[in-house]
Amino acid sequence: MANVFVVLNSGSTSVKFAAYTGDDAESLDLVCRGQLDGIGSQPSFAAKNAKGELVDTQTWGRERILDRDAALKFVITWLQDHGAGLKVVAVGHRVVQGGVTHHRPTLVGEKVLRELEKLIPIVPSHQPYELDAIRTLAKAYPRLPQVAVFDTSFHRTMPEIAQRYALPAAVLGEEIRHWGYHGISYDYISRALPRYSPTARRVVAAHLGGGASMCAMLDGKSVDTSMGFSAIDGLPMATRCGGLDPHILLFLLKSKKYGAAELETILNQKSGLLGLSGISGDMRVLKASKAPAAAAAIDYLVCQIVKFAGAYAAVLGGLDAFVFTAGIGENDAQLRAKVVGRLAWLGASLDQDANVRHGPRISSQDSKISVWVIPTNEELMIARHTAAIVSAVVQ
């Protein structure tokens, strides 16, 4: 019977999952992946095999509304029932915030859960649902090991000065610092890039999707990143604003009479590309639009990417490689061309044909820095960490 490591990414109304089999962390093979959407309303389930072929779908009518507990149990039960000869031996969870205590993935017990629950106010739109999934499975399958893999832990290698804000120490405490997110993605890129460019030490990676950020890496370790205390800082995203002057919020609170809840909605759901364009936060929709505001929103994103790239080249003392990843980074050749064109001052030169083919290398042979398109794989990274920790415990 083959061992299976399950990866879960739990949200407020959905659960994404993947299952990997293998004897150790470095030899894992994807078995299947899928998603259960519409939790609490009209649930729908779909699963695909490793080839991307649809293997099962299910829907539930309004008369049978799945809650989060039932949805999570359904996923585990489905994997056990549909994977002939497979045994679920551990579950790895994406957990956004690990705090100062958890610099690396960890086996989760009650003590760890209590520590992570204290961080919910920092990331209230993610952390509660991720921890709820762990508690649900612990109750239903008390002997099943569960591992938390944190988006913040990769960035704990940043110099202390890069993790600070210029506020009084008494105000900062342990909670307020430059945390950085998308760390699981950058962890994967830091391990994948040496296969393509083994001599690249000074690297800037751009994780460009619905959520977007950038990371400066030296010898595979994070030294700076655009997301800060929260996941709305840095680059403009689909609906999140990115960096802005903090006094704007004070101004809106005092003069425009917005409440905290209204501002939270504006910053997270009505800003970014959507706010700039007034049309959509979806890059595909903006590219198809002839409205000047759509083009202006895209140009704004390009400008911010270039600005962070320049800053991080200064932080690193030069640049050896630039990596595009995630949905927009991996698929939008036009945006990549605009960014690389504006990095010519760093010696970047684009191979137009390679860029249209989506790489992996999209820089020309005479480019002074290599530019890459590398698909990220956060699920595999979580599965590897989970397998490594569980194997260590067994030994």
Active-site positions read: 151
- Kindly provide the b/e burial profile for residues 255-291, where b requires at least 16 CB atoms within 10 angstroms of the residue's own CB: eeebeeeeeeebbbeebbbbbbbebbbbbeebeebee
Give the gyration radius of the chain's Cα atoms: 21
Q: Put the strands of the sheet holding 54-59 in their side by side order.
A: 54-59, 44-49, 29-37, 15-21, 2-10, 86-95, 146-150, 106-107
- For residue 15, how many C-alpha atoms fall within 13 Å in the half-sphere facing its CB? 32
Number of other residues whose CB lies within 10 A of the CB of residue 352:
11
User: Got the DSSP string for 4-70?
Assistant: EEEEEEE-SS-EEEEEEE-SSTTS-EEEEEEEEE-TTSS-EEEEEETTS-EEEEEE--TTS---HHH
Residue 384 in contact with residue 25, Cβ under 8 Å? yes
